[in-house]
Structures are given as structure tokens and as C-alpha cells.
Amino acid sequence: MSSDTKTILVIDNDLKSLNNVKFMLQDNDYNVITAMDGKSGWKIIRESPPDLVVLDILIPKINGYELSRLIKNGDEGRKIPIICYTSLPHHRYGASGENVKDKDYLLADAVLEKPLDFNKIAAATNSLLNGKRNTASDIKDKVLIIDDAPEVTELLSLRLQENYEINGVSSGEEALDMIERFEPDVILLDIQMPRVDGLTILKLIRSRYDSICIIMITAHGSEETAIEAMKNGADDYLIKPIDYRKIEKIVGDNLN
């Protein structure tokens, strides 16, 4: 094996899944080492840091959420890219954000859904290890979803996460702090928010940030409110029920 062959650590407590990922990566000419729990994986990372970590979120001893934080926050692993896979829906993840306090925020460079698509694993691995992720053409635009309905955030995330880095908050109080840390390119903002409504949040954002694209989400029959939002700095609006099949095009059109 060549001395410049990249080493990948795969962590999964399901032996069949572990071996499937291992053999697929070996077929792509990577050196693969494995662990079946987060504690063992963290020991390997500290003693001999790999070039990439691929892990199932639901690993024992130290789960994927905790391990991703240890990797990204530790000196040994700060620059190690992470690919996570899971059967659970996830929308709060990103490759940076060392000070994020939410225990459900996943620090990862890519999140893939089960059942595993090995072509997607191979593509993500090759992209993260060959240096493309540091070029302007491959850096994902960031989308922040501000909506108090978890099901809306989840569906929006599932539609967008392949081509965008996604984050989400459920209240206006969280929004400004997350904008400062996450630095989104696009914000999807529900007008009907509890405590602090969407129009107020919009005005607060626009008082600080001119360049962020803001797309409002409004209920059917509330188009007048959406038009008011446009007058106050929104770039576009969506009317519920949202056609999730078109959301990526709408976001892309507004970015362009």
C-alpha cells in the first residue's frame, strides 16, 4: 500500500454494516481501520488520527453526537472530516460550531441516511479527502431554518441537505445568536412564530445583515403579510402547504 494512501476510521456497532462500509472503502483504495463503539474509536483518534472518520450516530459508549464534538473540539481531530450515517432524521448539523451548546447539534461534514447508499459514501469520502471541500466551487451554501414546527424543519432539511449545509432554530430568541455563529447564506423564516413573530425577526435581521437572502414562510390566506415582509426586506416567500419538491429550486433561484 502506497505511503500516501489515506486512512479512514469506520465506527459502527453493527458488524455487517461495518464490514460493508469497510470493504467498499478498501475497494476504493483507502486504508481502513475499524471500531465498534465510540470509546474505542476516540482512543484510536487520539493515538493515531486518521484522515477521515465515518460513523453511525447510534454507536454505544460514546454516541455519534458526543464523539463528533470530541473530534471537532480536540486538537487531535479539529481538522478531521466526519461523515455520519443514520436512520434518524437530522437537520441540525455542520462542520463548524465548536461552541454550540445544543446536545442534539451534530458536528459533521456530511450526514447520510440509511439504508446506506455506497455510491454516496464513496462520493462524500472522495470529495472530503481529495481537497475539493476547500475550493469555492464545492463549499456548500448554508441554510438556516427558523420555524417552531419540527415537522416543517425536518421536511425542509431532508429536501435541502444533499446540496446545502443546514441548521435550524425554533424561536426568534435563538435566531440572531445562531446567525452570528452559523453565518447562513439563506434564511427560511416562518411568519407565525411564538413570542417573537416572523416580521419582527425579519426586521431585526435586516438591521444587522444586508446580504443574507431571506425567504418567508406564510400560511395560505396570509399573502398580504408576506407582501409586507417583502417591503421590509424579505427576498421571497413560500405559502403553506409547502411544495417540498420545489424548495431546492426556490432556494437556488434566490441565491442566484
Question: Domains plus CATH for the chain?
Answer: 7-134 (3.40.50.2300), 140-255 (3.40.50.2300)
What pLDDT sits at residue 133? 41
Q: How many residues does the chain have?
A: 256
| pLDDT tens for each residue of 65-81 | 889 888 887 665 457 89
Could you tell me where the beta strands, DSSP code E, fall in the chain? 7-11, 31-35, 52-56, 82-86, 93-94, 106-107, 110-113, 141-146, 164-169, 186-190, 213-218, 236-239
Give the Cα separation of 25 and 144 in Å (integer). 32
Give the Cα separation of 106 and 199 in Å (integer). 29
Under 8 Å between Cβ of 244 and 155? yes
Give the Cα separation of 215 and 230 in Å (integer). 9
- Backbone angles phi and psi of 54, in degrees to 5: -115, 125
| pLDDT tens for each residue of 17-44 | 999 899 989 888 899 999 999 999 999 9
pLDDT band at 99 (very low <50, low <70, confident <90, very high): very low
Q: What is the CB-side half-sphere exposure of residue 161 using CA atoms within 13 A?
A: 25
Lowest mean pLDDT across 13-17, 26-30, 110-114: 110-114
Give the Cα separation of 91 and 153 in Å (integer). 7
More confident residue, 145 or 101: 145
Q: What is the CB-side half-sphere exposure of residue 127 using CA atoms within 13 A?
A: 17
pLDDT band at 49 (very low <50, low <70, confident <90, very high): very high
| pLDDT tens for each residue of 118-156 | 778 888 888 888 754 433 334 578 899 999 888 888 888
| Res 103 pLDDT > 80 | no
Q: Can you read off the three cell numbers belonging to residue 57?
A: 450516530
- The helix (run of H) or strand (run of E) holding residue 15 is helix 15-27
β-pairing verdict for 106-107 and 186-190: unpaired
Q: What is the pTM of this model?
A: 0.51
Q: Which of 103, 33, 117, 102 is nearest to 64 (CA)?
A: 103
Q: Which of 11, 23, 17, 143 is nearest to 83 (CA)?
A: 11
Q: Which of 193, 186, 248 is nearest to 222 (CA)?
A: 193
Q: Can you read off the three cell numbers belonging to residue 202?
A: 425579519
Give the Cα separation of 189 and 143 in Å (integer). 11
What pLDDT sits at residue 181? 82
What lies within 8 Å, CB to CB, of 68 at 6+ separation is: 55, 82, 84, 106, 107, 108
Q: Can you read off the three cell numbers belonging to residue 72?
A: 471537532
